[in-house]
C-alpha cells in the first residue's frame, strides 16, 4: 500500500495516508527519542514515499517535537502538502490550572504556542489530547468551532477520552450545526483492543475516523522483549523497560502472559509470511474496522523503514483470523447481551445479521433509507 494513496478521514473531505508519521520520538528531551539528524531522516523518508499525515503534540519532548517538525516543514516548503496534527491539554505552567486542561482559555493559549513552534499560521487537525474530567463538552465544541471559523484550524478531533464524552461532543456539534469532529486518536494494537467495544461502533455511527497510536504496544510487538521468570519482568532493551513499574501511571504493565502469547503468534506469522513482526502487527491494526490511519512510531531510521513496509504483502484472511483469535477480548457485560445468539429472543427468531448488499447504513444527516421491498413472491405465486 503506497502512502500516496489518500483516504478521507472520518466523515470529512480531508485525505490522509494510511500510515501517519508519529513524532513523539522527535527530540531527546524525554531520554528515549531520536536526535535532530535521525528525526529529519525519518521526516524526509516519509515525504519521499508519499506520506502526508503527521502527528505531534505540544507535550511531546517538551515542545522539541513541534519545533523540529516546524523547522523541517519550513525548510522543505511542504506546509500545504502535509496534514499537520497537534494537540492541547497538558499543562505549561506549574501552579496555574488554566495553563492546562481543555477549557477555552487553555485551548487558545496552547494553540498560539503550537503555531509559533510549528512556524505556521494554521493546524490541519487539532486534537484534545486527554479528557480533563472537568470541562463541559459544550465549551470544548464551541471553542473548536470558533477556531475553525477563525481559520486557525481546519478540523478538530479528540484523543484519549471516554466514549460517552466523544459521543456527546459530536452530537452537540451535529445538533447545533457546528463543525463536526473528524478524528478519534486512540491506543489500538493487537494487545490493546478495548476500543472495539465502544469506540469503533461510535466512530462508524458518528463520522469519526480512528487513528491508532502505539500500534506496536510501544515496541512489545516487535518481539524485542522476552518473557521473564515471573509476571511483569522481561528481558530486552527498549522504551518499555523505562515505563514499567508505573513510571507513567496510565501505562499498565504490558509484560503479561496474554501479551506474550500474542507476541509468539505474531512471530510465527512473521516467519511464515516473510514480513517482519512489526509489519504483521501494523498491518493487522490498519485493516480493522473504522481505522483511518495507523500512527508509526520509530526511534531509528531502520525501524521506520521496517514499519513503512507494513503493506508489502497482504496478509490472508486466515492469518488475520488467527491474530483476531489469539488477542480476542474477553466477553463482558453488557456486550454479551448484544451477541446474535442472545438477540434471537428479542427479534422473535428473525435474523439480525448484516443487511443485504445495497442496503447501506444511513449516510450522515440524511433520513434513514427506507427498506426496498422485494416483490411479494408468495402473492405472485
Angle at which helices 195-206 and 163-175 cross, to 10°:
10
24 or 200, CB closer to ligand NAP?
24
DSSP-derived secondary structure letter, 178:
P
CA 109 – CA 184 distance, rounded (Å): 22
Does residue 222 bind ligand NAP (CB under 6 A)?
yes
Does residue 109 bind ligand NAP (CB under 6 A)?
no
| Catalytic annotation present for 60 | yes
Exposed, middle or buried by CB within 10 Å (0-12, 13-18, 19+), for 244?
middle
Residue 135 near residue 102, CB atoms below 8 Å: yes
Q: Among the options 60, 188, 208, 225, which is catalytic?
A: 60
Which of 113, 201, 238, 309 touches ligand NAP by CB under 6 A?
A: 238
Residue 262 near residue 255, CB atoms below 8 Å: no
Give the count of residues interacting with ligand NAP (CB under 6 A): 28
Does residue 23 bind ligand NAP (CB under 6 A)?
yes
69 or 173, CB closer to ligand NAP?
69
Does residue 307 bind ligand NAP (CB under 6 A)?
yes
Does residue 299 bind ligand NAP (CB under 6 A)?
yes
Does residue 303 bind ligand NAP (CB under 6 A)?
yes
Which of 161, 218, 234, 319 touches ligand NAP by CB under 6 A?
A: 218
Which of 24, 69, 172, 200 touches ligand NAP by CB under 6 A?
A: 24
36 or 174, CB closer to ligand NAP?
36
Binding mask 152-191 for ligand NAP (x = CB under 6 A): -------xx------------------------x------
302 or 348, CB closer to ligand NAP?
302
Residue 166 near residue 198, CB atoms below 8 Å: no
236 or 343, CB closer to ligand NAP?
236
- Give the other-Cβ count within 10 Å of 110's Cβ: 26
From residue 7, alpha-carbon distances to 1, 4, 20, 53, 271 in Å are 12, 10, 12, 11, 31
Residue 209 near residue 9, CB atoms below 8 Å: yes
Which of 217, 234, 263, 269 touches ligand NAP by CB under 6 A?
A: 217
Residue 20 near residue 296, CB atoms below 8 Å: yes
150 or 293, CB closer to ligand NAP?
293
CA 181 – CA 299 distance, rounded (Å): 31
Which of 27, 70, 278, 292 touches ligand NAP by CB under 6 A?
A: 278
Left (φ > 0), alpha (ψ -120 to 50) or beta: where does 360 sit? beta
Query: Which residues contribute to the site for ligand NAP (CB under 6 A)?
Result: 22-25, 32, 55, 159-160, 185, 213-219, 222, 224, 238-239, 278, 295, 297-299, 303, 306-307
Amino acid at each position: 500500500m503506497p502512502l500516496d494513496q489518500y483516504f478521507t478521514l472520518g466523515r470529512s473531505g480531508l485525505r490522509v495516508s494510511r500510515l501517519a508519521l508519529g513524532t513523539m520520538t522527535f527530540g531527546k528531551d524525554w531520554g528515549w527519542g531520536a536526535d535532530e539528524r535521525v528525526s529529519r531522516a525519518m521526516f524526509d523518508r516519509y515525504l519521499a514515499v508519499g506520506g502526508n499525515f503527521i502527528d505531534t503534540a505540544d507535550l511531546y519532548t517538551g515542545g522539541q517535537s513541534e519545533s523540529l517538525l516546524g523547522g523541517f516543514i519550513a525548510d522543505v516548503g511542504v506546509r500545504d502538502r502535509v496534514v499537520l496534527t497537534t494537540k492541547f491539554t497538558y499543562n505549561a505552567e506549574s501552579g496555574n490550572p488554566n495553563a492546562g486542561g481543555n477549557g477555552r482559555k487553555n485551548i487558545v493559549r496552547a494553540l498560539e504556542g503550537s503555531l509559533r513552534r510549528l512556524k505556521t499560521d494554521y493546524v490541519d487537525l487539532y486534537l484534545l489530547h486527554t479528557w480533563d474530567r472537568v470541562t463541559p463538552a459544550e465549551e470544548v465544541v464551541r471553542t473548536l468551532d470558533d477556531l475553525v471559523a477563525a481559520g486557525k484550524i481546519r478540523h478538530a478531533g479528540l484523543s484519549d477520552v471516554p466514549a460517552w464524552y466523544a459521543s456527546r461532543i459530536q452530537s452537540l456539534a451535529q445538533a447545533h450545526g457546528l463543525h463536526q469532529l473528524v478524528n478519534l486518536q486512540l491506543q489500538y494494537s493487537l494487545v490493546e483492543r478495548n476500543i472495539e467495544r465502544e469506540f469503533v461502533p461510535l466512530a462508524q455511527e458518528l463520522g469519526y475516523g480512528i487513528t491508532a497510536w502505539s500500534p506496536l504496544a510501544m515496541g512489545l510487538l516487535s518481539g524485542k522483549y522476552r518473557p521473564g521468570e515471573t509476571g511483569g519482568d522481561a528481558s530486552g532493551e527498549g522504551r518499555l523497560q523505562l515505563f514499567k513499574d508505573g513510571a507513567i501511571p496510565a501505562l499498565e504493565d504490558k509484560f503479561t502472559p496474554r501479551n506474550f502469547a500474542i507476541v509468539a503468534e505474531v512471530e510465527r506469522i512473521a516467519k511464515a509470511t516473510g514480513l517482519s513482526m512489526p509489519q504483521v502487527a501494523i498491518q493487522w491494526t490498519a485493516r480493522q474496522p473504522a481505522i483511518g490511519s495507523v500512527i508509526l512510531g520509530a526511534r531509528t531510521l531502520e525501524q521506520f523503514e521496517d514499519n513503512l513496509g507494513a503493506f508489502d504483502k497482504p496478509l490472508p484472511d486466515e492469518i488475520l483470523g488467527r491474530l483476531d483469535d489469539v488477542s480476542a477480548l474477553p466477553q463482558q457485560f453488557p456486550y454479551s447481551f448484544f451477541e446474535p445468539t442472545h438477540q434471537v429472543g428479542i427479534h422473535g427468531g428473525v435474523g439480525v445479521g448484516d443487511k443485504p448488499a445495497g442496503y447501506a447504513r444511513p449516510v450522515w444527516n440524511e433520513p434513514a433509507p427506507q427498506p426496498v421491498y422485494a416483490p411479494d413472491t408468495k402473492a405472485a405465486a
